[in-house]
Chains A and B, each alone.
Chain A
Amino acid sequence: MELLCPAGNLASLKVALNAGADAIYLGLKDDTNARSFAGLNFTPKKLAQAVDYTKQQGKKIFLTINTFPKPGEEQRWYQAIDLAANTGVDALIMADLSLLDYAHSRYPHLPLHLSVQASATNLGALTLYKKEFNIERAVLPRVLSMKQVRDLAKVTPVDLEVFAFGSLCIMAEGRCHLSSYVTGQSPNTGGSCSPAKDVRWQEVGDRRLTRLNEVLIDQSDIDEQMGYPVVCKGRYTTEENPQPSYLLESPTSLNTLSLLPELAKANVVSLKIEGRQRSPAYVEQVTRVWRQAIDTYLNNPSAFSTQDSWEHALAKVSEGQITTLGAYERTWQ
């Protein structure tokens, strides 16, 4: 079972490998990936350094090219694929059909992973991508219950990777337009959800208003800790309830430590830690805990239980310091 960790820069990559990551995923410094934030990601030169460093450690490195090419600008995405193939990354993580087609036809030996942005949740979708583009692995959207993951794992034609920890998307990824509805930018098009340039915190008396492209997402006391503003984690009223509440989801993070045995038994091959946009300190902390947890499980599967110190360490780096099992747990749905 692989521990797959995020790197927004070389510092994160190094601490992740040092803390026990089996593999790293990263993106280029442009809109070819869905974490296109200023000050983040890798130039071609830095990518080459990242690949060299990771290989020296005997670990794997995957390049994320998971946005959808804009008409007339496809060349930028094709060049990213060419670069990846020539730099020696171990796999490409992609969602767009035309890019999968391009990579599969030109670099048939370069393994392809289906990005979560492709939103493949069922046997039919996985079969299509396997038959057409020979994908090796698919990253499952965070919408399946544990039972559904287990059922799918029994019949899937490809390896499965799941999100184990980090920010919680509650919508089927790759098909969510909430960000673009409010800001004009989405992960699919502009390369990010809730772009930082559209976020504005406004202090009014003892209240802090959180705005996204001027739309009021939430408001709180000045000293209340708030998560990064996204449309699905705001407080709104309804026709029937004038009291503002988290109608969709509260600011929480996904944490599946307690599901580790079940994920392993289901033959999930890779556990993904979310957070290319997070600091090296976050990456190190989370990687270290998950390394310990996986090793503890593998040493003696039947005796596994989560340790308070792990949960505590993960809660400290979680949004609102609260974690959830999300859709894996049926009652959450």
Chain B
Amino acid sequence: MDNQNTLLNEVAGRDYRFGFVTEIETDFIPKGLNEEVVRIISAKKEEPDFMLEFRLKAYRKWLTMKMPDWAQLKIPEIDYQEIIYYAAPRQQPKYESLDEVDPELLSTFAKLGIPLEEQKMLAGVAVDAVMDSVSVKTTFKENLAELGIIFCSFSEAVKHHPDLVQKYLGMVVPPNDNFFAALNCAVFSDGSFVYIPKGVRCPMELSTYFRINAKNTGQFERTLIIADNDSYVSYLEGCTAPMRDENQLHAAVVEIIALDRAEVKYSTVQNWYPGNKEGIGGIYNFVTKRGLCKGASSKICWNQVETGSAITWKYPSCILAGDNSVAEFNSVALTNNYQQADTGTKMIHLGKNTKSTIVSKGISAGHSSNSYRGLVRVAAKAENARNYSQCDSLLLGDHCGAHTFPYIEVGNQNSVVEHEATTSKIGEDQIFYCNQRGISTQDAIGMIVNGYAREVINKLPMEFAVEAQKLLQISLEGSVG
């Protein structure tokens, strides 16, 4: 036991690798939130009227809403007037080639392990990097444009493709959906926009990197992905932030729309600053992610590895509206020290013969609290719907908590829904077996945790799988070899 405690203490002692601050001139607006701020943001983005309308409607709705308190989270009171709602690197936005990008910025991304140039050449991943709410540079845009794929920052999309934005914005996450979504709708500054035209299979992984850099700012980005009939896209998202003593707010919205026979795969490696080992500082990650399988036989797949953030409140969901549509949710959530996570998914079956699968793996260590909260709803008309859910929790240390709150609602007779959940600590016999074969306890825990999460990590695209594995290792450093 002592041995394990030392190991766990080492875990607690690890540092956050991405905690640097980049000195870049930033364009702020005064802190606080009121209708004027919403108008300023809209004006700064040179947005058309419908966007301003959308924002103001959301803002007015937000004023009437209360912060949700049903999650198994202890959220300190947030003063929404103390947050800066818009912060952008000053020289934005007119880069044509990488040479024009601020070298400081480039080195930031290099430190993060997203070498824009390198990836352009080698990895073949098109990256849209979003720093403090503003999209800095989208690589590979021209190559993608040849196929008719639109991959650009949200503000560009609003300028160049207002019809698409107007048609789909708010379709899956309407402004009145929930408190954080309404806030995001009112003040979101940028994000990514993807449109895959009919019959196109996107030849490379599209990727966004989010970073909160400036102090006291919140990040409110918005991602909108539209996959037209018979198209396919795989999308990656990564996040980091500097180390600061005060908490910063991140309230993003991701909307995915899959039309007939389209397939969208959305993978996240979330590594916002989790706070120090006493639980001071860190990002509040309150995110609304939802996909709509609008067309028949469409497919949406959410993969996530959650290791960061002081508090995570996130439920990537799917609405299976099209007949024969398929949805998947694969998640690994790791919490350590004083981190709290309340995460899961909603699968709403509306169409006939729809299928969904949920695999959720929670790992809690230190004094953290890790909850799975999920809903599977089969509407009366969703005949032959099928769901399988599996939620496992692994506990490391006796001060942490692992909770499971599934909701299952079935409204017809020919659907089959199964749910399974287990909670246990790492098996002593498994560790003993490894020890017996000459593997140290440290390595054994590493192997077991990795094996435990493998099912989900295997679903991630190659580049991310490597990163995810590394992240799990760093997050449990000391106990994982």
Do A and B pair up? The answer is no
